[in-house]
Amino acid sequence: MVESIRRTTRREREQLIAAAGWNLFDLKAEDVTIDLLTDSGTGAMSQEQWASMMRGDESYAGSRSFGRLQESVRDVFGFEHVLPVHQGRAAEHLYFGMLLEEGGIVVSNGHFDTTRAHVEITGTEAIDLPCRENSDPRTLAPFKGNIDLERLGLLLSGPDGMRVRALVMTLTNNTGGGQPVSMANLAAASRMAREHGIPVVLDIARFAENSWFVKEREQGWATKSVAEIALATMAHGDVALMSAKKDGLVNIGGLVLTRDALLHERLGQRSIVFEGFPTYGGLAGRDIDALATGLREVLDEQYLSYRVGQVAHMADRIEAAGVPTLRPAGGHAVYVDAGSLLSHIPPSQFPAQALGCALYVEGGVRGVEIGSNMMGRDPITGENRHPDIELLRLAVPRRTYTHTQLETVADALAGIALRPEKVSGLDMTYEAPVLRHFTAKFRPLTTARKH
Ligand SMILES: *Cc1c(COP(=O)(O)O)cnc(C)c1O
């Protein structure tokens, strides 16, 4: 599909961002020139996937399209049971809503924001234990998405160990910068959890990108195909939850994958209440069919090499302009270190949110804040939480933009980097109790208002 892109003037963009309350989610997509808000469901489908859309079987129960999905899931993931759902957070709702009750702990290399929300609304504590290299944005470690095995061991064998209900391994680690997890780290963490009788839940939104990094960077895997690596990855999980809007290469959909027939049956009963009959789970047959095709296509190594290479190229160009990014580049996004670039703005004034707005005004580019705005408040103390690094994420939709278009993003950032002090901090004027970053409103703090 070819789509025309509207260009706006700087003057227009200044008015549009003010009208949106300095929240990029409140802009109209047509007012955005290069939309890097998310790589979720925003990619283009292939001709084979469009052919799948045409042959989608819309039967309420037991459709042919569901049969094709089952085959893809067994071939690509090796999981026996599959429940389609309408997107990733629906998978989280079905599984965590059943597994968790008040007082438990879920431990992870990095909870994605919706995962954290689904854990916390049950009264469960969500603990992130990212590896040490993860907190240094400049270290060029190959697997900065890893979990800290030492701290995981201490938690599991310590006084709180009895309260741990699940280990969640997010592949790649989105909140931690789209950084991959090594097979060795995943295997070790999984072994530790299983020894304590704790289920290992894989959040596999970007399983193909993670597998590509394992092939590229981890000793012993270079000669294996990405398909083989993906299968080996899945063997370390008891359950897998997927937002198919990422490496499913579709615009909508999610998966709950299990090995245990009884667990599958219980989750299927919940699906009937919340999503739909277990063979369609809130999706049209055509969407399920396109997903069955997308799961196979995403293992194409030529595609993966292009995709990961495109993101790395944009990151290099941004770095060359003197704008610090999280190194090395993640699989699906470049994370700009907004806290360093705008070091005059304290975390309480949302530097990454401010940079996101400035980038929109500068180049019509839309990114998303992954910093103090997204972190929200501590559910117990009500205090604002601040991450180690204030990031602006520029997520690249799959099979959508050209290298040249992404270079214009780097050039807009270069423009801001010439005079970063011109960007002012933000004051939050409205926030919702959960997932506040989607709807929060701000106003810019002029220099005069600072104290
Ligand atoms: C996108 C995503 C989710 C949530 O999926 P949705 O389809 O947006 O509901 C969960 N985990 C990770 C790692 C994700 O990237």
Each residue of 258-311: pLDDT tens digit? 999 999 999 999 999 999 999 999 999 999 999 999 999 999 999 999 999 999
Q: Is there a contact between 90 and 282 (Cβ–Cβ < 8 Å)?
A: yes
CATH at residue 327? 3.90.1150.10
Matching residue, tokens 């741990």: 164
Residues 312 and 416 both lie in one domain: yes
Strand-strand pairing, 164-170 and 105-108: parallel
401 located within any domain: yes
The answer to whether position 1 is within a domain reads no
Q: List, in sequence order, every beta strand (DSSP E) within 194-269.
A: 200-203, 239-243, 254-258
Q: Say if residue 92 is in the same domain as residue 231.
A: yes
Residues with CB under 6 A from ligand 1: 40, 87-89, 112, 114-115, 170, 174, 203, 205, 243, 245-246, 254
To the query of whether residue 112 is one of the catalytic residues in this protein, the response is: yes
Cα of 331 vs centre of ligand 1, distance in Å, is 15
User: Atom 14, ligand 1: which residue's CA is nearest?
Assistant: 205
Cβ-count burial of 261 within 10 angstroms (0-12 exposed, 13-18 middle, 19+ buried)? exposed
Any domain includes 270: no
CA of 176 to the centre of ligand 1 (A): 14
**Residue 113 is among the residues annotated as catalytic for this protein:** yes
**Residues 6 or more apart whose Cβ sits within 8 Å of residue 393:** 36, 178, 333, 334, 335, 336, 367, 368, 369, 370
* Å from CA of 127 to ligand 1 middle: 18
**Marked catalytic residue, from 144, 352, 437, 440:** 437
Q: Which of 205, 230, 329, 440 is catalytic?
A: 205
| Residue 122 sits in the same domain as residue 199 | yes
Clarify whether 432 is annotated catalytic: no
Question: In the annotation, is 60 catalytic?
Answer: yes
Q: Do 237 and 338 share a domain, yes or no?
A: no
Q: Is 205 a catalytic site residue?
A: yes
Round to whole Å and give the CA distance between 177 and 134. 8
Please report whether residue 22 resides in a domain: yes
Q: What distance in Å separates the CA atoms of residue 120 and residue 101, rounded to the nearest whole number?
A: 10
Report yes or no: 35 and 29 within 8 Å, Cβ to Cβ.
Answer: yes
pLDDT on residue 447 = 53
Q: What's the pLDDT at 176?
A: 66
368 contacts: CB under 8 Å, gap ≥ 6 = 24, 36, 37, 38, 356, 392, 393, 395, 437
Do the domain assignments include residue 386?
yes
Is 281 domain-assigned? Answer: no
CATH number assigned to the domain comprising residue 105:
3.40.640.10
Say whether both 92 and 28 belong to one domain: no
Are both 427 and 356 inside the same structural domain? yes
Could you tell me if residue 449 is inside a domain?
A: no
Q: What is residue 449's predicted lDDT score, i.e. its pLDDT?
A: 46
Q: Which of 314, 302, 331 is nearest to 404 (CA)?
A: 314
Q: How far is the CA of 88 from the centre of ligand 1 (A)?
A: 5
Ligand 1: which residue has its CA nearest to atom 6?
Answer: 88
Measured CA to CA, the distance from residue 394 to residue 389 in angstroms comes to 15
Considering the domain architecture, whether residues 232 and 320 belong to the same structural domain is answered as no
- Ligand 1 pocket test, candidate residues 37, 38, 40, most atoms within 8 A of CB: 40
344 lies in the same domain as 209: no
pLDDT number for residue 154: 98
In the set 112, 143, 350, 401, the catalytic residue is 112
Q: For residue 202, how far is its CA from the centre of ligand 1 (angstroms)?
A: 12
pTM, entire model: 0.92
Q: Is 203 a catalytic residue?
A: yes
236 and 132 in a single domain? The answer is: yes
Q: How far is the CA of 56 from the centre of ligand 1 (A)?
A: 24
Look at the chain and report how many structural domains it folds into.
2
Using the 3D structure, point to which of 226, 243, 260 is the last residue of a domain.
243
Range of the domain at 116: 88-243
Distance between CA atoms of residues 29 and 37, nearest Å: 10
Q: Choose the catalytic residue: 18, 29, 60, 75.
A: 60
Residue of 31, 35, 203, 247 marked catalytic: 203
Nearest atom in ligand 1 to 170's CA = 13
Q: Give 10-residue mean pLDDT values along the chain (451 residues).
A: 88 98 96 96 97 97 98 98 98 97 96 94 96 87 96 97 97 85 98 98 98 98 98 98 98 98 98 97 98 98 96 96 93 95 96 98 96 90 90 96 95 96 96 90 75 42
Q: Which atom of ligand 1 is nearest to the CA of 40?
A: 1
**Going by CA atoms, what residue is nearest to atom 1 of ligand 1?**
243
From 221, 243, 265, the end of a domain falls on 243
Q: Are 231 and 311 found together in one domain?
A: no
287 in a structural domain: no
Q: Could you say which of 31, 35, 113, 247 is catalytic?
A: 113
Say what the pLDDT of residue 448 is: 44
412 annotated active-site: no
Q: Distance, CA 408 to ligand 1 centroid (Å)?
A: 28
